[in-house]
Amino acid sequence: MAEETEIKIGDIIAAKKFGPLEHNFTGEVTKVYDNSVLVEIRDYDPKDKTAVGDMNNRAVVRKSAAKITGNVADKN
């Protein structure tokens, strides 16, 4: 079962709210696992500031719930 678009390190993804986060967020993929990715949260709702801080600005997101919106290399 191949994925349409392979998520890789450096991709910017949009992710749905979950757990302590009350709003959707975007972040940069820093590690890829079999079914999920580790994301450094970059853009989030100010109301989620405490939750993001508690999570050390990182979140594990299911690949099926992540939408690629760009790549860090595209911004250079």
pTM, two decimal places? 0.87
Give the per-residue SS3 of the chain.
CCCCCCCCCCEEEEECCCCCCCCCEEEEEEEECCCEEEEEEEECCHHHHHHHHHCCCEEEEEHHHEEEEEEHHHHC
pLDDT band at 76 (very low <50, low <70, confident <90, very high): low
- 15-40: pLDDT as tens digits: 999 999 999 999 999 999 999 999 99
Mean pLDDT of the chain: 91
The confidence score (pLDDT) of residue 1 equals: 39
